[in-house]
Amino acid sequence: EAGVAQSPRYKIIEKRQSVAFWCNPISGHATLYWYQQILGQGPKLLIQFQNNGVVDDSQLPKDRFSAERLKGVDSTLKIQPAKLEDSAVYLCASSGRSNYGYTFGSGTRLTVV
Amino acid sequence: GEDVEQSLFLSVREGDSSVINCTYTDSSSTYLYWYKQEPGAGLQLLTYIFSNMDMKQDQRLTVLLNKKDKHLSLRIADTQTGDSAIYFCAEQGGFKTIFGAGTRLFVKA
């Protein structure tokens, strides 16, 4: 089966600019996650969707981050305006009923300068 | 809140066994996972264990779970240079999964 697709792979922006990331999960996976992975740390959950509804967004900085999954398939994560501390790898993952654990995409490496 | 802790580095010689340790705090965890991350890639699920199990073996990988001490370990037999990566322990309770900071495994030829 095709894996979790993410784009772009890399992005460099100046602080206060906006940026958007895209994710297409594995076909049929109802649950989609966005994680932030700062260099040297483990992934931290930003938001979790079940189909097109939000299950958990308690750690999403809602003053600057937003995410949507309108048709319950692909998803976008946006940052506006970006700060230096947003420099990280943004990982998308998905999971389905019949499997354990998550399948991760390769991530988008964001550098804010 | 929930927390998962791992040592940061481990160095082994090729052909030796590697043991990566992890402790977690959530006693209601139902599943515990080990993921592998190679440079520039996302996390890849290696193996998992249910909280009611003590041990699981999968080819070169052996997972040991001490639920009383909330301690999880991953043993890699006959470690190869291709095993060099960061290994993440994760615990899942309900719908939430918490990841450790990862252990970087160096394999010396």
Which residue did the predictor score with more confidence, A44 or B29?
A44
Q: Do the Cβ atoms of B100 and A42 come within 8 Å?
A: yes
pLDDT of residue A2: 75
pLDDT of residue B16: 97
Tell me which residue has tokens 């100046």: A14
pLDDT of residue A13: 98
CA distance to partner chain A, nearest, from residue B7 (Å): 12
B positions 47-106 inside 8 Å of A (CB): 48, 88, 90, 95-97, 99-102
H runs (alpha helix) in chain A: none
pLDDT of residue B94: 77
CA distance to partner chain A, nearest, from residue B93 (Å): 12
Separation CA B55–CA B32 (nearest Å): 12
Residue B108: which pLDDT band, with cuts at 50, 70 and 90?
A: very high
Q: Do the Cβ atoms of B99 and A4 come within 8 Å?
A: no
Residue B1: which pLDDT band, with cuts at 50, 70 and 90?
A: low
Separation CA A108–CA A35 (nearest Å): 11
Which residues are registered as beta bridge partners of B106? B11
List pLDDT tens digits, range B79-99.
Answer: 999 999 999 999 998 778 999
pLDDT, averaged per 10 consecutive residues of chain A (113 residues), comes to 90 98 95 95 95 93 95 94 98 87 95 98
User: Which residues in A1-113 belong to E strands, given as ranges?
Assistant: 5-7, 10-13, 19-24, 31-37, 44-50, 53-56, 65-68, 75-79, 88-95, 103-104, 108-112
User: Which residues in B14-60 belong to E strands, given as ranges?
Assistant: 18-24, 31-37, 43-50, 55-58
Contacts with A48 from chain B: Cβ below 8 Å: 95
Q: Do the Cβ atoms of B45 and A91 come within 8 Å?
A: no
